[in-house]
Structure 1
């Protein structure tokens, strides 16, 4: 997380601990995407990431937490 903060990079992870906004507030990093997937195989991850790329065209990611599953995206704003 520290490297992402220093380099202005978004963190994409399968680690559900990062969905805890008390431990990782959205405003503490450039953006955080937590993949909450029942299946974590390569094809599922690629499909979800392709859907996210389309969403990035209309939704800002900066200082936000995106929690993504196979069918939906929940977005938590800073503060």
Structure 2
């Protein structure tokens, strides 16, 4: 799978995704750091990449309808430190084996994943 992770996530996330066999770019890879959310969203659409972010704006299905995206994953850890964020990734990777992400919004916290979209 192809991922793009937002500038609010640790760079090590790319290493974890790539070691699991995925294609992962950060917004820094395309000089999109500091870019408006709409530019990041458009880049994900154009490149067919699933967005991973801490930015709650992307959970707004009116502004970012899941049906228009390869997938959006919004992480909601209790603490946004590097270790807390990276600890969520194995569960996401495991869930990707059984759940479709395309055209869906996943909101992921330490205990559960809410899935919206597919309409």
Higher RCO, 1 vs 2 (CA within 8 Å, ≥6 residues apart): 1
The TM-score, its normalising length taken from structure 1, stands at 0.95
4+ runs deviating over 3 angstroms: none
Shift of 1:78: 2.9
Q: Could you list the runs of 5+ residues in structure 1 that have no partner in the other structure?
A: none
Larger radius of gyration: 2
Partner in structure 2 of residue 33 of structure 1: 73
Q: Which of 45, 53, 56 is the aligned partner of 1:16?
A: 56
Match of 2:104 in 1: 64
CA distance in 2, matches of 1:48, 1:66: 13
C-alpha distance in 2, partners of 1:7/1:21?
20
Show structure 2 runs of 5+ residues with no match: 1-40
Q: May I ask how many residue pairs the two structures share in their alignment? A: 79
